[in-house]
Chains A and B, each alone.
Chain A
């Protein structure tokens, strides 16, 4: 399986935090089952999801509009450094995206990279990004990668069943990265970390 080279490079186009919409603090459908199943895979997935809860999303601060700031912000991200081979293309893409998206999305993203909120951030690409309303970066609650995904699903129901299935198991051809390393759903997330959701290049 090959990993989409465009994943991290194209993740910076727009950003938001999860809206505070759920009275339960963002717990997703994946956490609301009647009982645990018997399958070890699904149980493990649920444990990874169980860290989601009370952490509340906040609105991203606004920022300036220059593409230079965006590029500088991208170059400072740990994940971007880990994907050093893509950094130049990321900068190019970020510049183009800043021009294409207008003054709202990219500046907001740059602002968070420079002085972001204390929440893990999910970086979305491709079709997943489209289903999140075109947002490429979203600050989420959750103490683990699985909990972050559950939080994301709670705020963006159109993503339910796309990154993980209805039992909370990561889709077979989806990979998660933190700091340039592939991680599982139970990976603990620090508040400053970014979780990349990357689709494999697969199929015929």
Chain B
């Protein structure tokens, strides 16, 4: 049985079904409210939902059973001295160590929980970086959306910020250094690229079996790092991708050479290129990319958002993604064939396997 947590503009949809089989709506939580991210910590079994109420702001909830009562977490919220308020909760990521989780928000900040997500505290080392005043938001705000723990090493972490680049820590967040060497911000004039802080990371994922390997979907560019995020290599140009713009990214947790992206046409036209919904797979660390479209709609101009693509970590790999058109697609064979898991949902913001 596979359980999908689908965050939509009108609530959290919990879908359940057999791998490759039909899915049914098992529960709907937060009706009418925007659930921008939902996930489950598989260590504790606890579910999380980041809900932005149109009137009452962003709030994080947790539950042991998504069909029952959700409790509001204590935070993430900025302390008084930070003089800021959370605008949106972008991601919740289990960390390394009992009860440790990380949470990324806008304006770009990282929060840590040591009690399984019940309460959260600002990671002040990142918040107080001297470079912060130079950071600029992307179209989606100044958001910390990607958190990459290092399996087995609790103090090592990488985060991706739009549009402030990659930041790395080896002391659990007390100190940080930037990791943007090799990234090319083509959206800036060439003469302005050298000293810029505007590195618009769209998504970043670590290969857990080979933690020094990370993949990145950039704002114009797909990259791979072989040195834990210190530097980046272009794997998006002239290698079979119809576009190197997009947001979703999945790395096979069992195979560091294998990753998936769903390109969109361009920043000015954020739909599937040529009206063709295609997932692109690399099995050679980005040297080549192959389209996977069997079962996916053609003549369809879909938009797939940053958090709306995931894997189940199984073998063969299960893959799922949702679109703002309200459809969710799934593959039980690593992307070779696809089927529609759900349709006519509200616009999908996130998809995660529970």
- State the Cβ distance, A43 to closest chain B Cβ, in Å: 9
Tell whether, in the assembled complex, residue B79 and residue A202 are in contact, meaning their CB atoms are under 8 Å apart. Answer: no
Known contacts being A158-B72, A166-B86, is A173 close to B54, with CB within 8 Å? Answer: yes
State how many angstroms separate the Cβ of A121 from the closest Cβ of chain B.
Answer: 21
- Contacts known (A166-B86, A200-B55); A161 close to B77, Cβ less than 8 A: yes
In contact, B79 and A34 (Cβ under 8 angstroms): yes
User: SS class of chain A's interface: helix, strand, loop or mixed?
Assistant: loop
Proximity bits, A147-190, B CB within 8 Å = 1, else 0? 00000000000100111011101010110000000000000000
User: How many of chain A's residues touch chain B, expressed as a range?
Assistant: 20 to 34
Contacts of A165 in B (CB 8 A): 57, 85-86
Tell me which residues across on chain A come within 8 A of B79, comparing CB atoms. Answer: 33-34
**B-chain residues with CB within 8 Å of residue A203 when the two chains form the complex:** 34, 54
Looking at the assembled complex, report how far the CB atom of B280 sits from the nearest CB atom of chain A, in whole angstroms: 31
Contacts of A161 in B (CB 8 A): 57, 59, 77
Contact A33:B81 (CB < 8 A) given known A158-B72, A166-B86, A204-B9: yes
Interface residues of chain B: helix, strand, loop or mixed (majority) = loop
B80 touches A167 (CB 8 A): yes
Distance in angstroms from A83 CB to nearest chain B CB is 19
**Which residues from chain A contact B86 at a C-beta distance below 8 Å?**
165-166
* Cβ of A191 under 8 Å from chain B: no
Is there contact, CB below 8 Å, between A33 and B56?
A: no
B69: CB under 8 A from chain A? no
Separation of A19 and B275 alpha carbons in the complex (Å): 60
**What is the bound-complex CA distance between A174 and B53, given in angstroms?**
11
Contact of A166 with B77 in the complex, beta carbons under 8 Å: yes
- The answer to whether B55 and A42 have CB atoms under 8 Å apart is no
When A37-B83, A38-B83 are in contact, do A166 and B78 touch as well, CB less than 8 Å? yes
**Residue on A with the closest CB to B34?**
A203
Q: How distant is B35 from chain A, measured CB to nearest CB, in Å?
A: 13
Partner of A127, one of B53, B82, B84: B53
CA distance A202 to B82 in the complex (A): 29
Residues of A near B77 (CB, < 8 A) are 161, 166
Cα A33 to Cα B82 with chains together (Å): 10
Binary per-residue interface labels of chain B (139-167) against chain A in the complex, 1 for a CB within 8 Å, 0 otherwise: 00000000000000000000000000000
Residue of A32, A33, A167, A199 near B55 (CB, 8 A) is A199
Question: Within the assembled complex, what's the spacing in Å between the Cα atoms of A162 and B72?
Answer: 11
B36 to chain A, nearest CB (A): 13
Q: How far apart are the CA atoms of A173 and B33 in the complex, in Å?
A: 14
Q: Given the complex, which residues of A lie within 8 Å of B56, measured CB to CB? A: 127-128, 162-163, 171, 174, 199
| Assembly CA distance A158 to B78 (angstroms) | 17
Cα separation A200 to B72 with both chains bound (whole Å): 23
Q: Which residues of B contact A202 (CB under 8 A)?
A: 54-55
CB atoms of A37 and B80 under 8 A apart: yes
Report Cα–Cα, A50/B338, bound state, in Å. Answer: 59
Which residues between 7 and 34 of chain A lie within 8 Å of chain B, taking CB atoms? 32-34
Chain B's closest residue to A162 (CB) is B56
Could you give, for residues 1-26 of chain B, a 1 whenever the CB lies within 8 Å of some chain A CB and a 0 otherwise?
00000000100000000000000000
State how many angstroms separate the Cβ of A45 from the closest Cβ of chain B. Answer: 10
Binary contact readout A68-80 vs B (1 if CB under 8 angstroms, 0 otherwise): 0000000000000
Distance between Cα atoms of A158 and B83 in the complex (Å): 22
Residues of A within 8 A of B34 (CB): 203
Q: Which of A32, A171, A174 has the most chain B CB atoms inside 10 A of its CB?
A: A171
| Pairwise interchain contact B83-A34, C-beta atoms closer than 8 A | no
Q: Knowing A199-B56, A200-B55 are in contact, say whether A167-B72 is a contact too (CB < 8 A).
A: no
- Could you tell me the distance in whole angstroms from the C-beta of A62 to the nearest C-beta in chain B? 31
A34 to B86, CA, bound (A): 18
CA distance A199 to B53 in the complex (A): 11
Instruction: Report the minimum CB–CB distance from B345 to chain A (whole Å).
Output: 15
Question: In angstroms, how far is the closest chain A Cβ from the Cβ of B9?
Answer: 7
State A183–B261 Cα separation when bound (angstroms): 50
Nearest residue, chain A, Cβ from B59 = A161
Q: Tell me which residues from 16 to 55 in chain B have a Cβ below 8 Å from any Cβ of chain A.
A: 34, 53-55
Q: Which chain B positions have C-beta within 8 A of A163?
A: 56
- Do residues B78 and A173 form an inter-chain contact, with CB atoms below 8 A? no
Minimum CB–CB distance for B272 against chain A, Å: 22
In the bound assembly, the distance between CA atoms of A202 and B84 in angstroms comes to: 23
Residues of B with C-beta under 8 A to A174: 55-56
A-B contact pairs, 11 of them (CB 8 A): A32-B80, A37-B80, A37-B83, A39-B83, A128-B56, A166-B85, A166-B86, A167-B85, A171-B55, A171-B57, A174-B56
* Other A-B pairs beyond A34-B81, A162-B56, A167-B85, 9, CB < 8 Å: A32-B80, A35-B81, A37-B80, A39-B83, A161-B57, A161-B77, A166-B85, A173-B55, A202-B54
> Which 9 A-B pairs give the minimum distances between C-beta atoms?
A33-B80, A37-B83, A203-B54, A165-B85, A199-B55, A166-B77, A173-B55, A162-B56, A39-B83
Interface residues of B (CB under 8 A from A): 9, 34, 53-57, 59, 72, 77-86
